[in-house]
Amino acid sequence: MSTAVLTISSKNYGAWALRGWLMARFAGLDFTERVISPDDPQMKAEILLLSASIRVPTLEHEGIRVWDTLAIGEYLNEIKPEAGLLPFDRAARAHCRAVCGEMHSGFSALRSSLPMNIRAHFPKFQIWSRAQNDIERIAAIWTECLQKYAGPYLFGSTAGIADAMFAPVVTRFLTYDVPLDLLCNAYCQQIMALSPMQEWVAAARVEPVEVGELEAEF
């Protein structure tokens, strides 16, 4: 029986929940899901305000409670070092932490104008200039990492914390029909082909949860 419980929110809209869930799956942790009710005001705040740390995701494991996505990633790396969530090389590990921190605290224009919505598709979506700046910065991060560490994931041959942090961005780029170059497009396809991502997307597509404020924007 699993000794770990991961509290998450909507699979269609919950970007932070997806990040923590992927980290746990990449680590090979045996866990059960606890999904916060869509009527819970803090779940709506996590989705609508895009907060990085309210209640989801939260990991409970062997009497330890960890919240905040990056803290969960660091904890999982400690208990499952063999999973390679963080690179083994010190310089690469520092680089990974830097780009994860940038994702954790930045890109507010992208988050506000292109909210995560896996079920939706908006062809030729009009992207405003500040969000475009965020897109270009993300593409630059991906390009640097994929070229430096030889892919197919951001820090080499194993999907890790950085890939989990940027996975919701991949879904956004697909939802809003964001044009990318061949390298970044290939990375998006690589992430979407991961079996945990396919599992998450399948669940998101049949999820009964509706968040009216998000749907109303489009």
Coil, helix or strand for 120?
A: coil
CATH 3.40.30.10, applies to 90-200: no
**Rounded Cα distance, 23 and 20, in Å:** 5
At 9 the pLDDT is 84
Q: What would the two tokens of residue 100 be?
A: 């994860």
User: 10 Å Cβ neighbour count for 20?
Assistant: 27
pLDDT digits (tens, 9 = 90+) for 6-48: 999 889 998 999 999 999 999 999 999 998 876 666 555 555 5
CATH class of 4-83: alpha beta
At 49 the pLDDT is 45
Q: Which residue from 17, 20, 16, 156 is spatially nearest to 75, judged by alpha carbons?
A: 20
Nearest-5° Cα angle at 54, 51 to 58: 115
Q: Is beta strand 64-67 parallel, antiparallel or unpaired with respect to 58-61?
A: antiparallel
| 57 prior amide bond cis, ω within 30 | yes
Q: Is beta strand 31-35 parallel, antiparallel or unpaired with respect to 4-8?
A: parallel
At 210 the pLDDT is 61
At 215 the pLDDT is 45
**Rounded Cα distance, 1 and 12, in Å:** 28
Pinpoint the alpha helices (H) of the chain.
15-27, 41-48, 69-79, 90-105, 108-113, 129-149, 161-175, 182-193, 195-206, 212-216
Contact (CB, 8 A) for 58 and 6:
yes
> 6 pairs with which residues across the strands?
33, 59
| Residues in the chain where the model's pLDDT stays below 50 | 1, 49-52, 213-218
- Tell me the pTM: 0.90
At 10 the pLDDT is 86
| Domain spans, the chain | 4-83, 90-200
Amino acid identity of residue 171, one-letter, is T
At 200 the pLDDT is 98
End-to-end CA distance of the chain: 43
Residue by residue, what is the 3-state secondary structure of 173-210?
HHHCCCCCCHHHHHHHHHHHHCHHHHHHHHHHHHCCCC
At 209 the pLDDT is 58
